[in-house]
Amino acid sequence: MKNQLLKYLVIFMILSGCSDAAKQNHPEAILTEKYSGPIIDMHIHAFSDRNPLLGMTHPPTLRGVTYEGVKTDVEQKEKTFEKFREHNIVKAVVTDGQLWFDDFSDVILIGGANKKVDALRKQYEEGALQVIAEMSPFYAGILANDQSQLPYYELAQELDIPVGFHIFPGGPNYGIHLMPEMLANMRTYNANPTQLEDVLVKYPELRLYIMHGGWPYMDDVKALMYAHPNLYVDIAVVNWILPQEEFNTYIKALINAGFGDRIMFGSDQMVWPQVISVGIESVNNANFLTFDQKEDIFYDNAAKFLGLSEEEIAKHKSL
């Protein structure tokens, strides 16, 4: 019996050694830990009861998935808040967040855009503007460096608040054809993120992030991030509309280029709050990411970009 136990012990040690060697040769096998800590969502929308998207069914994404839209503004708010609680979302940049601020003031950072500059300044002075987002002249065929857009960057740099700028993808895949009444002026030839270069040079202190990450112009995004240290990206929409492998390729390209510290989570939930969960899953399912890299994407990079205090960060990480 003693010899048999000794034999089993030797076999166990050999198998353990093989297992360790396998992990060293195939590190992806040990990079599957799911992140469940605090999350900052850099791309959320609050809608009024007049928003035309309410009740819309999202057409099949490039993943082949269709999403039923909420029917009312109240349902949009309630179901989005449910996702905040479910996933420990501790901060969210919410365009038109003043609509929800009284319900969730400790979480919401109010984003404002598509108003005159004087109106945004007044909103800031009233304590109801923390981010200029989302800027989306793209939908009107206007480039980021158009003269009409410069006063917004000037205001943001003066007030030291970030800017979230939308380029591409815009709307659902094939949206120009599926939703011409809303997306008729959208063009892929106006989508290249290099249109932001003049802005980043003219306003060197500006904290700017590209919403939807500038996909699919990856080489241009990398070039811009190489040249401009204040430029970040959020991964909203691309984390639920693209196939997982394409999303993985996009994330890996930025990380391999050395920009893993400037990727931020976002969802752009609009009338489909369920995509918040899908976006989070997409990051957690990217098994090449280490746990620390996931934590950077979900929280640390945005906390740095937004300038959260050490006290607030410690509070979030203790939840």
User: Given a cut of 70, is residue 204 above it in pLDDT?
Assistant: yes
Label residue 171 by pLDDT band (50, 70, 90): confident
Tell me how far CA of residue 234 lies from CA of 64, 86, 129, 158, 263, in angstroms.
Answer: 23, 21, 19, 23, 6
- Which percentage of the chain shows pLDDT scores above 70? 90
Using DSSP, state whether 63 is helix, strand or coil: coil
Q: What are 259's two structure tokens?
A: 């920009």
Label residue 174 by pLDDT band (50, 70, 90): confident
Nearby residues of 74 by Cβ (< 8 Å), 6 or more positions away: none
Q: What is the pLDDT of residue 181?
A: 83
Label residue 170 by pLDDT band (50, 70, 90): confident
User: Given a cut of 70, is residue 61 above it in pLDDT?
Assistant: yes
- Which percentage of the chain shows pLDDT scores above 90? 80
pTM over 0.85: yes
Q: Are 222 and 257 in contact (CB under 8 A)?
A: yes
pLDDT tens-digit series, residues 32-59: 689 999 999 999 999 999 999 999 999 9
User: Given a cut of 60, is residue 28 above it in pLDDT?
Assistant: no
Domains in the chain with CATH codes: 38-317 (3.20.20.140)
Among the listed ranges 60-74, 83-97, 164-178, 228-242, which one has the minimum average pLDDT value? 164-178
Q: What is the mean pLDDT of residues 58-69?
A: 96
Q: What is the mean pLDDT of residues 53-68?
A: 96
Task: Give φ, ψ of 131 to 5 degrees.
Answer: -145, 140
User: How far, in Å, CA of 225 to CA of 300, rounded?
Assistant: 18
Among 190, 192, 117, 112, CA closest to 150: 117
User: How far, in Å, CA of 127 to CA of 111, rounded?
Assistant: 12
Q: What is the pLDDT of residue 31?
A: 52
User: How far, in Å, CA of 42 to CA of 279, rounded?
Assistant: 12
User: Given a cut of 70, is residue 315 above it in pLDDT?
Assistant: yes
Task: Give φ, ψ of 69 to 5 degrees.
Answer: -85, 150
Q: Are 247 and 236 in contact (CB under 8 A)?
A: no
Q: What is the pLDDT of residue 114?
A: 85
